[in-house]
Chain A
């Protein structure tokens, strides 16, 4: 039964015991884009017991350069990533109970899913969801592995409740207008490098090799040949509202989530960020034009033409997504551009 895992079992720190542990574990993966492709394939091939993946998006041609689970046919059919990923991963390893869920990873959905989850993999593309994931992980005492990238730059850090600092300790607040793959581009090796860092930590966590779990925050730039490991012993914030003694899990609070409203009869969704922002529309416009997006603007707003939608962004971070009534799709489009 373990023949297909023989090489992994030969690896001493895993062995047969480790393989049994991997087999008994349930992983929740939030996102099934490029990081999700890398992590999902490695964990499914490794023989994890169950993999639940959540994604709200569908496959597009511009994904194929780096999202290894998908094909031209998936893009042509605009297949939801959760469906295409589930199909592909089941074909890779029929031992694994793979379940793809088409949906937005809201606090409600995540609370519903984490019941018997042993590990959460961050394969998302925005910090709002990561902060929710961070609070969920702390609340339910589940390890999770942060990973993110843009251009040729990537970073990763395993977060173990009760042991390591959490994402809120590191960032203190929701980063505004982070760089995204849709505004600054991305090369496939950078995502793969993040995914391998994440999945290596995942294997250590799933096999309960706790002493081997990395304690440093790693970041690298594959184009500039830089690799940095930062010691995190001083990063834990005792006053942290996500993991400190006075915790409130702020990102599970509806007040701190972006608000989406379908505007009746206009085929438009309005997105309002959790707090007022001050977006530099001019520089965002320049960035997007450089990437050949059709952009129009005035001092008050920026209008970006996308394949089937138009995104209108206001200086305070509010945006209108035209051409859809689907809130999840609108949020996906918004976060693709604004992070």
Chain B
């Protein structure tokens, strides 16, 4: 470590103002603070500080995403093999296929996003902020596997610039950056983001997996669970080769869907990490589930002849689609949620409600989680306003 420190100290002058490489000052600073905790000491106020910092907070979100990511990779392989009628190959082979299919998306998302962040940091002469570490991992996990890389690149650039940097960077954004990426994709390239053609990887990669263009088994369907229910005549959901699936299968998550969203178990491992470390707020997370469950239950109770989504059991509603992933990783983003504790209950609850309402009432979008969270992001400040005003009124009433 000593050698590395010495090396950094040696090259550092090049990156300082007036140095040969001063155009990369922020980048150097980013790497240096990544490798070594800066030796900054407190100058005003408290002389001691907690060891927690934003790098660690962000890293723990990324760590919490890893189970969903690994399962997602495996599932990508599994779906491809299953659709080709070869469901019995070794898990390692399926994972390797999925790994190769997903990795480019992660790389593209990080390259584009971090590239912009680094440039902006240099331009504004600021430290590089860690926010995109999380967004960059979220983006590949909430897109379909067939989504082309160049589209991801465009959408990521759009989101980082227009949803984050123009507001002032990490901590100032109104909307969740990863969800803006997805929303951009969803509305700009709807054919790449929905339907029954995009959820299962169709090529073979380096000899792994199968080319599915004319090679699928009988009864193949690439539609997601929600897609099937929205267009179907029953609430019965089938997997890629037409076998009926149960709630238990939905929780395990070997179904077509966005890369990271399918497995409730993997997401819950992440949820436990986030709640245990206190990185995500339990108030928001629980409220989303409560809101979703209540609303779905209500629709179940009313029932509908023509719209089967109303009849989808409330537990299945929570298990399929992006509900869990959104509740655990997206709704809990502290920057875009209300900052009062009471506000978080309302915010979470309404996300759950709106997500299920969109699923049930809107024929155009089988999935409502993304729009629900974005809508509530918009209202976060308003929810806070109500609770701040309550505190203010309490103080005013004290005088009377």
- Are these two chains actual partners, yes or no? no
Chain A interface (Cβ within 8 Å of chain B)?
none
| Chain B residues near A (Cβ < 8 Å) | none
